[in-house]
Amino acid sequence: MASTAAGRACGDDSQGEGSRRRRIRTEARRLSAAVAAPGLLFWASVLAVLLVDAVWLAAAGIVPALPGFAATAALVAALLAAAAYWGRVRSEPSLRAMALASAGLIAFTVPVAVLHYLTATLARPLVDPSLARIEAALGFDWNAHLAVLIAHPALSWWLALAYHSSGPQVGLVVIALGATRRLGRLWTYLRLFCAGLIAVVAIAALFPALGPYAHYAPTRLPAESLETVGALWHLEPLARLRSGAVRTLALSDIRALVTFPSFHVCLAILTAWALAPVRLIGPLAILLNAAVVVATLSAGGHYLPDVLAGAILAGALLAGAILGLVRARRPALQPGPLRAAEGRLARGEHRAALAVEAAEMRR
């Protein structure tokens, strides 16, 4: 009897231990699901860029200044914790989406910004002469465009202000789409933002340029620093990176170095698309981002080919997203007549799921 009781006790203990392990695994799955969007592939790409950065920094002998990067990592961790809380403990889909999208944008943008700086150390030949020739062949006179803006300082200032709104508009997208529960559109925007950013960095690494202010060297500049800071502030760090003079890298030192293609133009089109269906905000966002595109030539210090390439990139990204959705909505063919009923049922469920995603994309 004693041995039987001991056996039962052992069995109860093992069953209890198994139950506890199952609860832990279930809780871990639920927690990971709360922070999984916009997808595991996205987070894997973040880790991949971080690995490339670490290897490249070590090979180049550049030491990162840790405080800024550590503070960024802590912010991303706090946002992920908030997303887990609002997704697992207290159901708040809008707040969860805002926190998760913010974490994703920061977690991707900072490592790619470091990678962008590192690619400048390749010091490939500058393509400014080629961009200037293409610009001339298109019939555009950048110097004449700048002269018009100098003659109309109010117009120049307002265009520069629109240009510098691109960053804050990204935050507006996160808040507006999260608050209105357009979560499918939010995750699509985040993926397109990241795909556009990495594409721009890769192209700029192969075809670096200084920009029209350095190439044309105009004798007159717009009066306000707001109108030229985005066009000139990259020249000094770019020269140091190309010469190999950079030995430490602080987060606060990182600036946008890209000339071709223009990420501001690509981002303006993606942001206008993201906000377009939002009541009241949508029409204003379209107008504002049209001004961003125009301002990119002067306030951003870009050639006309930079603007056109950025627009083509944005169009390609949006077309790819739409084409992917259309292809996903096609019903899969089920082989064999005996599985026709099963195929119809599966296709119906598939179409229903896609209808939900498509509705989110249209909202």
Query: Is 266 contained in some domain?
Result: yes
Mean pLDDT over 55-68 rounds to 94
Q: Which domain holds residue 140?
A: 19-329
Q: What is the pLDDT of residues 201-226, one digit of tens each?
A: 999 999 999 999 999 999 888 877 77
Query: Is 90 contained in some domain?
Result: yes
Looking at every residue in the chain, the average pLDDT score rounds to: 85
DSSP state at residue 225: G
Amino acid at 247: R
Categorize the per-residue pLDDT at 341 as very low, low, confident or very high, splitting at 50, 70 and 90: very low
What whole-number distance in Å separates Cα of residue 255 and Cα of residue 237? 8
DSSP one-letter string for 50-72 = HHHHHHHHHHHTPEE-HHHHHHH
Best-predicted range by mean pLDDT among 106-110, 149-153, 219-223?
106-110
Query: Can you give the pLDDT at residue 334?
Result: 46
Per-residue pLDDT for 200 more than 70?
Answer: yes
Cut 0.85: pTM above it: no
Query: Is 7 contained in some domain?
Result: no
Query: Is 5 contained in some domain?
Result: no
> Using H for helix, E for strand and C for coil, what is the string for 280-342?
CHHHHHHHHHHHHHHHCCCCCCCCHHHHHHHHHHHHHHHHHHHHHHHHHHCCCCCCCHHHHHH
Q: Is 270 exposed, middle or buried (0-12, 13-18, 19+ CB in 10 A)?
A: buried
Best-predicted range by mean pLDDT among 272-276, 347-351, 354-358?
272-276
3-class secondary-structure state, position 230: helix
Query: Is 33 contained in some domain?
Result: yes
Amino acid at 169: Q
Query: Can you give the pLDDT at residue 18?
Result: 58
Q: What is the pLDDT of residues 175-198, one digit of tens each?
A: 999 999 999 999 999 999 999 999
Query: Is 356 contained in some domain?
Result: no
Per-residue pLDDT for 327 more than 90?
Answer: no
Q: What is the pLDDT of residues 301-314, one digit of tens each?
A: 999 999 999 999 99
Query: Is 146 contained in some domain?
Result: yes
Query: Can you give the pLDDT at residue 89?
Result: 80
**Do residues 184 and 97 make contact, with C-beta atoms less than 8 angstroms apart?**
no
Per-residue pLDDT for 324 more than 90?
Answer: no
Per-residue pLDDT for 23 more than 70?
Answer: no
Query: Is 4 contained in some domain?
Result: no
Question: Pairing state of beta strands 248-249 and 63-64?
Answer: parallel
Higher pLDDT, 256 or 351: 256
Query: Can you give the pLDDT at residue 357?
Result: 44
Query: Any idea how long the chain is?
Result: 363
Categorize the per-residue pLDDT at 11 as very low, low, confident or very high, splitting at 50, 70 and 90: low
Number of compact structural domains in the chain: 1
